[in-house]
Amino acid sequence: MLGLGSNITGISKVGTTIVTDNLVLRHDYKMRAVEPLSSGAASFNGTSDYIDCGDIGAAKSLAFWFKTSTNITSSSNYQRAFGFNSSYYGVSLGAATGGLSGEVLTVLPDNSSRTATTTTFDSNTWYHVCISWNDSSDYFDIYINGVLSTDLSTGTHTLADWDSFIMGTDNTGGTHFDGYMCNIGVWSAALSQAQIKSIMNKNYAGLSDSEKTNLVSWWNLDSVIPDTTTLVYDNHHGGGEILGSEKITSGDFNGGATGWNLGNAAWQQGSGNGEVKLTKPSSGNSVVYQTGLSFAANTVLRYRFDIVDYSGSSQIRLDGYSASNPLNTSTPVIPSEGNVDIYVTTDRVGSAVFLYLTGGSTGDTVTIDNISVKEVNGNTGTLS
- Across residues 37-59, what is the average pLDDT? 87
C-alpha span between 40 and 36 (Å, rounded): 10
- Across residues 143-152, what is the average pLDDT? 95
Residue 20 lies in a domain: no
Q: Choose the final residue of a domain: 241, 272, 295.
A: 241
Amino acid at position 205, single letter: A
**Strand 51-54 relative to strand 381-383: parallel, antiparallel, unpaired?**
antiparallel
Residue 13 lies in a domain: no
pLDDT at 12: 27
214 φψ region: left (φ > 0), alpha (ψ -120 to 50), beta (else): left
CATH number, position 192? 2.60.120.200
Report which of residues 317 and 175 the model is more confident about: 175
pLDDT at 324: 55
Which are the contacts of 35, defined by CB distance < 8 A and separation ≥ 6?
Answer: 23, 24, 25, 26, 126
C-alpha span between 180 and 35 (Å, rounded): 12
User: Given CA atoms 336, 339, 344, 349 in this order, what sign does their dihedral have?
Assistant: positive
Structural domain harbouring 257: 246-377
pLDDT digits (tens, 9 = 90+) for 242-272: 788 898 999 999 988 889 998 878 888 876 6
pLDDT at 3: 52
Residues 187 and 263 in one domain: no
Does residue 91 register a pLDDT over 90?
yes
Count the neighbouring beta carbons within 10 Å of the beta carbon of residue 294: 10
pLDDT at 2: 53
163 phi, psi to nearest 5 deg: -90, 0
Residues 189 and 148 in one domain: yes
Sorting pLDDT into bands at 50, 70 and 90, what band is 175?
confident
pLDDT at 65: 96
Does residue 43 register a pLDDT over 80?
yes
Residues 263 and 183 in one domain: no
Residues 228 and 105 in one domain: yes
Residues 251 and 225 in one domain: no
> In angstroms, what CA-CA distances link 320 with 248, 249, 278, 373, 377?
12, 15, 18, 10, 17
Does residue 30 register a pLDDT over 60?
no
Q: DSSP labels for 56-112?
A: -BS--EEEEEEE-SS-B-TTSPPEEEEE-SSSS-EEEESS--SSSTT-SEEEE-SSS
pLDDT at 283: 85
Residue 4 lies in a domain: no
Residue 124 lies in a domain: yes
Average pLDDT of the chain to the nearest whole number: 82
Among 134, 69, 79, smallest CA distance to 105 is for 79
Residues 207 and 343 in one domain: no
Angle of CA points 133, 136, 137, to nearest 5°: 70
pLDDT at 322: 54
> In angstroms, what CA-CA distances link 272 with 43, 60, 120, 209?
47, 53, 65, 45
Quote the number of domains for the chain: 2
Q: Choose the final residue of a domain: 215, 241, 267.
A: 241
pLDDT at 167: 95
Report which of residues 226 and 38 the model is more confident about: 226
Residues 219 and 112 in one domain: yes
Residue 383 lies in a domain: no
CA torsion 234-166-128-80 (nearest 10°) is 170
Residue 5 lies in a domain: no
CATH number, position 351? 2.60.120.260
Q: Choose the final residue of a domain: 219, 241, 263.
A: 241
pLDDT at 293: 84
C-alpha span between 250 and 247 (Å, rounded): 10
Residues 199 and 292 in one domain: no
pLDDT at 241: 61
| Lowest mean pLDDT, pick from 41-55, 255-269, 359-373 | 255-269
- Chain CA centroid to CA 243, Å: 15
The number of C-alpha atoms within 13 Å of 157 and in the hemisphere containing its C-beta is: 21
Burial label, 284 (beta-carbon count in 10 A; 0-12, 13-18, 19+): exposed
pLDDT at 29: 29
C-alpha span between 73 and 206 (Å, rounded): 32
% of the chain with per-residue pLDDT over 70:
84
- Across residues 321-326, what is the average pLDDT? 55
- Across residues 34-56, what is the average pLDDT? 84
Residues 340 and 364 in one domain: yes
pLDDT digits (tens, 9 = 90+) for 194-246: 999 999 989 898 999 999 999 999 999 988 887 777 888 898 986 556 788 89
pLDDT at 183: 95
Residues 184 and 284 in one domain: no
C-alpha span between 325 and 344 (Å, rounded): 17
C-alpha span between 344 and 300 (Å, rounded): 6
Residues 75 and 163 in one domain: yes
pLDDT at 301: 84
> In angstroms, what CA-CA distances link 51 with 14, 56, 71, 273?
10, 13, 24, 43
pLDDT digits (tens, 9 = 90+) for 273-283: 899 999 989 88
- Chain CA centroid to CA 125, Å: 25
% of the chain with per-residue pLDDT over 90:
40
- Across residues 133-159, what is the average pLDDT? 90
C-alpha span between 60 and 191 (Å, rounded): 8
Residue 271 lies in a domain: yes
| Lowest mean pLDDT, pick from 94-98, 128-132, 239-243, 296-300 | 239-243
Residues 156 and 93 in one domain: yes
Residue 17 lies in a domain: no
pLDDT at 321: 62
- Across residues 331-340, what is the average pLDDT? 76
Among 277, 275, 271, 266, smallest CA distance to 316 is for 277
Sorting pLDDT into bands at 50, 70 and 90, what band is 5?
very low
- Chain CA centroid to CA 159, Å: 23
